Structure 1
Amino acid sequence: MASSNDSIKKTIIVALALCLVCSIFVAAAAVGLKPIQKANKDLDRKRNILSAAGMLEPGKTVDEIFETVETRIVNLQTGKFATQDELQSAGINAATFDQQAAAKDPQLSVALSGDEDPAGIKRRSNFSAVYLVKSGDDIERIILPVHGYGLWSTMYGFMALQNDFNTVLGFGFYDQGETPGLGGEVDNPNWKAQWVDKKVYNEQGEAVIELAKSSVDSSDPKAMYKVDGLSGATLTSRGVTHLVQYWLGQEAFGPFLSQLRSEGVQ
């Protein structure tokens, strides 16, 4: 009986020892791989920004091309580029700013509800990174981060605009969990290509770009503001419309882009 008890104790001790060793190994691997994971995440962000702006080039690395992109922080409450004092007061570094994390911080964001939140994001950061491609002092193109809820997921993407700050240069999502073959068609290159040269704002300055209920009728006088809807994915299509209209509208980038159109970079 004593021998049996000794055997059980040894088994337990060996099992605990193995668990401890495995835990240490996993923790060490996680810590060791963290810098690599961070670098890969940053590289993926840059690649998606460049892709939206149509700037990826064969034979050039993402980092090489991204050197031509200037990252700035916009104060969405004022509709202008954030001043250094504003950034310091908020504890923001433009190079490392995490907009998703900021949106969860009550000190750096505002809560949205009801009609205030057509994109279904719940909170909006008071600041946002934007990405500029310049020729001298003039902006050639600007890339804006956008996100909003579809049917199953929050969809994260980038929209690039030409230097009239109204014409779409490119648009795409880099993170979404919509139904494959239906809402997941937001990743279809043919659908994304339809956004190029579409207009965001009407003559009254309202963000009216949207997904049509089906295919866009080229004879429609408002066709310049419309992209084909996603077949069989009404709620995802509605979500895309809501998120682009929200982020390009008066509660987000609208005042900033209006200021760029009328006054130039400040």
Structure 2
Amino acid sequence: MSASNDSFGKTIGVAVGLCLLCSLAVSGAAVALKKDQQANKAADVQRSILLASGLLKEGEAGDVTALFANVETLIIDMESGEKVEGVDVAKFNQRKLAKTPGANKVLTKDEDIAKIKRRSKQAKVYLVRENGKLKSIVLPVHGYGLFSTLYGFIALEADTKTVVGLKYYEHKETPGLGGEIVNPQWIAKWPGRTALNDQYEPIIKLSKTGVKNDNEIDALSGATMTSRGVENMMAYWLGKDGFGPFLKNIRGGKHGV
């Protein structure tokens, strides 16, 4: 007597076979699309840099590749603020280095106001020039908000004190609350604000009670922890433990200024 085609074993076999075929299809698609995904991510980061620097306006399409030709990319040593030679800029991965023993600095509790635990000993920074003269400096910043680490860029004028612009490109904060860090209306409040005082100490603040001074930005409504996270990351990255040494070198005429 022949075995039934509806046997339990055959049903399991068909199900397993279908699962394997689907897995292979999904894996193949992921591999095939990986380069495109990486290219899109790189283009998104470049677009964020252009938006922070003012080379591109929110809502504009623009040729990102052409506009980015006006941006000089440097790898710097965080302790000295000096340019690091012989590093492949295209392959430099600051996030990966921040997790790599020997390539990172583990922060003390007092140092870690941005709640990042450790940072790379090197960083990628960007200089925008106009007719050979430094126009703005774009710095990568990140720090913890309420639910996630926020990643973005802040751009300063050549005086290293005045904000040109701000742009966040990655976060997992609450939509409508902390997620408002990407709202163009809130971002538009940053240009012209004073980030550092005359002693070049970070002084940018997010205020819940209205803006009274040129170093203040309106805090995000209903998002106290995210607002605090933004303020703390600016204090860290613009301070002596962050990009302070690099900004000091800029003021001293280094890096082609």
TM over 0.5: yes
The amino acid that maps onto 2:145 is G
CA deviations on 1:83-132 (whole Å, 9 max, x unpaired) are: 33xx4xxxxx2112111111111121111131110000011111111111
Partner of residue 41, structure 1: 41
Cα distance in 2, alignment partners of residues 5 and 32 from structure 1: 37
Q: Secondary structure in 2 aligned to 1:161?
A: strand
2:120 to 117, 125, 128: 125
Cα distance in 2, alignment partners of residues 181 and 17 from structure 1: 44
Cα distance in 1, alignment partners of residues 225 and 30 from structure 2: 38
Alpha-carbon RMSD across the aligned residues, in angstroms, is 1.9
Cα distance in 2, alignment partners of residues 230 and 8 from structure 1: 59
Question: Does structure 1 residue 76 correspond to structure 2 residue 78?
Answer: yes
Partner of residue 27, structure 2: 27
2:161, 2:197 within 8 Å by CA — same for their partners in 1? no
- In structure 2, the CA distance between the partners of 1:183 and 1:60, relative to structure 1 (3 Å rule), is closer
Aligned residues: 254
Partner of residue 198, structure 2: 203
2:63 to 61, 64, 76: 61
Give the alignment of 1:1-266 within 5 angstroms: 3-4=3-4, 7-56=7-56, 58=60, 60-84=62-86, 87=87, 93-135=88-130, 137-217=132-212, 223-265=213-255
Comparing 169-178 with 13-22, greater Cα deviation is found at: 13-22
The amino acid that maps onto 2:206 is L
User: How far did residue 182 of structure 1 move?
Assistant: 2.1
2:125, 2:140 within 8 Å by CA — same for their partners in 1? yes
1:165, 1:261 within 8 Å by CA — same for their partners in 2? yes
Structure 1 residue runs of 5 or longer lacking an equivalent are 88-92, 218-222
Cα distance in 2, alignment partners of residues 6 and 232 from structure 1: 59
Scaled by the length of structure 1, the TM-score of the pair is 0.89
Cα distance in 2, alignment partners of residues 180 and 214 from structure 1: 22
1:214, 1:231 within 8 Å by CA — same for their partners in 2? no
Structure 2 residue runs of 5 or longer lacking an equivalent are none
Comparing 12-21 with 248-257, greater Cα deviation is found at: 12-21
**Which has the larger helix fraction?**
1
CA deviations on 1:201-228 (whole Å, 9 max, x unpaired) are: 11222111111232112xxxxx121111
1:71, 1:95 within 8 Å by CA — same for their partners in 2? no
Cα distance in 1, alignment partners of residues 117 and 178 from structure 2: 22
Cα distance in 2, alignment partners of residues 99 and 246 from structure 1: 17
2:145, 2:225 within 8 Å by CA — same for their partners in 1? yes
- In structure 2, the CA distance between the partners of 1:187 and 1:18, relative to structure 1 (3 Å rule), is same
Percent identity reads: 48
Cα distance in 2, alignment partners of residues 261 and 238 from structure 1: 29
Moved over 6 A (4+): none
